[in-house]
Amino acid sequence: MERKCYAKVNLSLDSLYKREDGYHEIDSLMTRISLYDKLIINKNKEKKFSYKSNIEGICPLEENLIYKAWALLKDRVDDNGVDVTLIKNIPLAAGLAGGSSDAAEMIKALNELWDLGLSQKEMMAYGKSLGADLPFFFIEENARAQGIGEILTPFTNKLNMKLLLVNDGTEISSAFVYKRMADYGVIDNDRLVSKLSKGDASAIKDFRNVMEDVIFDAFPHLKEICGKLRELGAENALVSGSGASIFGVFTDDDLLDRAYEEMKDDYKTVLKVELVDD
Ligand SMILES: C[C@@](CO)(OP(=O)(O)O)[C@H](O)COP(=O)(O)OP(=O)(O)OC[C@H]1O[C@@H](n2ccc(N)nc2=O)[C@H](O)[C@@H]1O
Ligand SMILES: Nc1ncnc2c1ncn2[C@@H]1O[C@H](COP(=O)(O)OP(=O)(O)O)[C@@H](O)[C@H]1O
């Protein structure tokens, strides 16, 4: 069985306040992009999890979210052995939720492979126990994420945008940023959702990520990438999630192509991507 594990970007990301349990209430518009890891999963007869990948040392196996997803479900069946191959294309600790997407697809795959009959709601609950970003990947639509990321409301986007994704190899953990966050609550996501559903292009200028205050303070060079994208014709440029990936938003293909040519040799990863759920 083969599955595509799409990356996400946050078109807008607001953090409202820190809760008693240490997590932050957020309000974010999330969308999947045409950059994906590939998971190849086959049953084996050894009742074991065997793993290989095109990249070494993401983290110890027991900490890999794919392994954790398997460990959550393995006692539901007798023949629980699987051979898993991960083709990693999504940059690490990049605000693109690659690990979360891998784990969500692993849960969906095991549900099918082992005929577990789990509902979307049950899979989302398993997902949430592994990370706040996981539930989004069970929706398979653009969604507004609230709560800690698990309250999901699909939205429609009629805007034809393409993104130039830039990652210079900087890795930032979500915990690093959340620890330094102030209270915000400044983004009008109701208005943004309404504009996107009507195809009103003025929405693009309203995209915002409140984590940028913390991120640019600690990693000022990332702000320069946003500036460069704007200079090259992006209608907006912002950090995705807790970073360190930056995306420029384009509605003109020629400008996008030109910006790609200008930037492609200057950073570790420069990719033209589309939104997959529109
Ligand atoms: C910032 C966001 C925006 O989509 O994405 P990334 O940039 O990581 O992709 C997410 O909120 C990241 O979610 P995720 O990375 O799954 O978080 P978890 O593994 O559950 O938690 C990692 C750390 O972030 C903090 N955290 C996470 C989510 C949240 N709503 N409030 C928090 O304070 C937790 O306290 C923990 O210390
Ligand atoms: N399958 C996986 N892919 C990527 N990272 C993983 C995976 N499993 C666990 N991790 C750990 O989670 C960290 C952040 O995950 P990732 O999804 O790449 O970043 P982000 O949360 O910023 O989008 C990684 O640095 C790694 O230590």
The ranges assigned to domains in the chain are: 2-153, 157-274
**Region 171-194 average pLDDT:** 96
Domains 2-153 and 157-274 are alike in CATH topology? no
Query: To the nearest whole number, what is the mean pLDDT of the chain?
Result: 97
Q: What separation in Å is there between the alpha carbon of 247 and the centre of ligand 2? A: 19
- pLDDT number for residue 31: 98
**Region 69-79 average pLDDT:** 97
Kindly state if the Cβ of 157 falls inside 6 Å of ligand 1.
no
- CATH level 2 (architecture), domain 157-274: 2-Layer Sandwich (3.30)
> 22-51 burial, b for 16+ CB within 10 Å, e for fewer?
eebbbbbbbbbbbbbbbbebeeeeeeebee
Q: What separation in Å is there between the alpha carbon of 124 and the centre of ligand 1? A: 16
Specify whether 37 is catalytic: no
Closest CA to 214 of 241, 192, 185: 241
Residue 141: DSSP 8-state = S
Q: Return the CATH class of domain 2-153.
A: alpha beta
- pLDDT number for residue 234: 98
**Residues whose CB is less than 8 angstroms from the CB of residue 8 and which lie 6 or more positions away in sequence, other chains included:** 30, 31, 32, 33, 96, 97, 101, 133, 136, 137, 240, 241
| Span 106-122, pLDDT tens digits | 999 999 999 999 999 99
- pLDDT number for residue 57: 82
Specify whether 213 is catalytic: no
Angstrom distance (rounded) from CA 137 to CA 42: 22
| Span 80-90, pLDDT tens digits | 999 999 999 99
Catalytic residue among 37, 133, 168, 277: 133
- pLDDT number for residue 26: 98
Mutate to test the pocket of ligand 2, among 58, 62, 167 (most ligand atoms within 8 A of CB): 58
Please say if the pLDDT value at position 278 is more than 90: no
- The confidence band for 209, taking pLDDT boundaries of 50, 70 and 90, is very high
